A = this chain, B = another copy of it.
């Protein structure tokens, strides 16, 4: 492989040293790059099962072979770590410009181990690393941190990934933020970084990317952009209106999580939280990550009221649902304010909104009591919701309980708290329903990083009706069917492939850019032919690799669960009305298609053998 694609920059914060390691080219052949190579490296570095908040937990930032290239949507970067939220592997994927900048330093992986004694910043400038003091920045929000640090470093071209107070305070769903508003969001990478006393990573790169066939790649990229914009969802929704347009579609379909998932319709919010209201209420500018023609992101400024002038990235759909419908709040300015605050505090907005919605239900049910906490927060309570956001980040009062996530809070509160604790494996649910997509039910249960709607975004198939002949996803697939889940596998592979390539899931979960087109782009980057089938098989290998990593941390079929609300309570309204999830049936079908053992939920020896992974042992000695 040409040039610098196997070079990883290792920084040990305990020792204050950095080293360049050449990773095995076989890893780039077998796991392609990005999340694939990061997962493989993590298996070695974390084989002892480190405490997620210990110096031994590595954080691996990984760009992919297409990151920063002419391929569309190629601004992605993954952070890989053991999750403080779940104890599983963590993989949090951010857009913006950090990945391409990392790539241009001459490395595609930046590996941080150890922990500093006082707050530090890691600066990687074109292949040179230094670790500088950050005591003046500790406590600062994301925006101030980025601005101060860029000023201090001087010059142009710096990209920053940093944590806010929530990461410093080890909030288990703290994010690492980049470009101020893009998040390595899920699973608590900010807490892992905070436990290392690492306030920020600043990278600047000026090197040329090693593309084997730049002209071929440009041509393939052109074709990919055409595919992207021939998909009407991209052209007519995502590009002109961004993710806020999802709100109308999802609420309209009756699959919008409302009142902490007790409802799936929220018709009273349509006029006030839909994307028309969004563009009327807020001063909106589109935002694009590196190389992205979609520009799904939105930058907003609140035009009036108590938060007039407050601005930032989003709120995206997930944030509108998290602080809005889940909390039964119909106040877009308050939702935008909660979003902007959470981003600046370095909180994952999805988990933050969910823990607040859960707290609301706990107060409703008397599990949390006003007399114990000095105040209560109820559904629709705008002030209560807003107050909790900084309290969580600073671990004040009730915020301290919620900062460990709904699973741990419920464990402290007793068994009756579990029903409202909407999580899988300790990670809070996003805003994508599992009653109205039994595919999504499987995805949430089996995702290697806890409740996750994106591996793959199964709703696209069984709720929105997309089909993809190239993946063999054709014909009748009904949202309510518990069995016949074999169509998830190829879609999951395509989604994983994008995470390995360093490109955006929005280009694959919309089924706009085809797997064969990604394979072509990769082939041009590498200078050797990688077929669609090979790419998908390698993605399957990484899916299995991650499954085995979690197995080594003790996760098996027993942990592939859903909140009881979905398996025990019937849906009250919306598309899933009268439905519940028969998870065992769905998992049986899915495991069979994956070649995973029905009892353990782990890859069979045959499956591991077929994928070249049969050397992985679940039980192993120290690293």
Instruction: State whether the Cβ of A153 lies closer than 8 Å to any Cβ in chain B.
Output: no
Q: Is the interface of A mostly helix, strand, loop or mixed?
A: loop
Q: If A3-B621, A617-B1 touch, does A612 touch B29 (CB 8 Å cutoff)?
A: yes
When distances are taken between beta carbons in the complex, the residues of chain B under 8 Å from A132 are: none
Q: Report A179-195 CB contacts with B as 1/0, cut-off 8 Å.
A: 00000000000000000
- Establish whether residues B44 and A605, one from each chain, have CB atoms under 8 Å apart when the complex forms: no
Instruction: State whether the Cβ of A365 lies closer than 8 Å to any Cβ in chain B.
Output: no
Instruction: State whether the Cβ of A615 lies closer than 8 Å to any Cβ in chain B.
Output: yes
Q: Report the stretch among A19-27, A272-280, A379-387 that lies at the interface.
A: A19-27
- Establish whether residues B29 and A615, one from each chain, have CB atoms under 8 Å apart when the complex forms: yes
When distances are taken between beta carbons in the complex, the residues of chain B under 8 Å from A609 are: 528-529
Instruction: State whether the Cβ of A413 lies closer than 8 Å to any Cβ in chain B.
Output: no
Closest chain B residue to A619 by CB distance? B2
Minimum CB–CB distance from A616 to chain B (whole Å) comes to 7
When distances are taken between beta carbons in the complex, the residues of chain B under 8 Å from A3 are: 620-621
Near B by CB (< 8 A), chain A positions 600-618 give 605, 609, 612, 614-617
* Residue count of chain A within 8 Å CB distance of chain B: 27
When distances are taken between beta carbons in the complex, the residues of chain B under 8 Å from A612 are: 26, 29
- Establish whether residues B24 and A616, one from each chain, have CB atoms under 8 Å apart when the complex forms: no
Question: Which of B1, B40, B528 is the one whose CB lies under 8 Å from A605?
Answer: B528
- Establish whether residues A22 and B621, one from each chain, have CB atoms under 8 Å apart when the complex forms: no
Instruction: State whether the Cβ of A546 lies closer than 8 Å to any Cβ in chain B.
Output: no
Instruction: State whether the Cβ of A596 lies closer than 8 Å to any Cβ in chain B.
Output: no
Instruction: State whether the Cβ of A42 lies closer than 8 Å to any Cβ in chain B.
Output: no
CA distance A27 to B623 in the complex (A): 17
- Establish whether residues A24 and B26, one from each chain, have CB atoms under 8 Å apart when the complex forms: yes
Minimum CB–CB distance from A41 to chain B (whole Å) comes to 9
Give residues in A with beta carbon < 8 Å to B: 1-4, 22, 24-30, 40, 44, 47, 528-529, 605, 609, 612, 614-617, 620-621, 623
In the complex, 18 of the A-B residue pairs with CB atoms within 8 angstroms, ordered by the A residue number, are: A2-B617, A2-B620, A4-B621, A24-B24, A24-B26, A24-B27, A24-B40, A25-B615, A25-B616, A26-B612, A26-B615, A28-B615, A29-B614, A29-B615, A528-B605, A528-B609, A528-B614, A528-B615
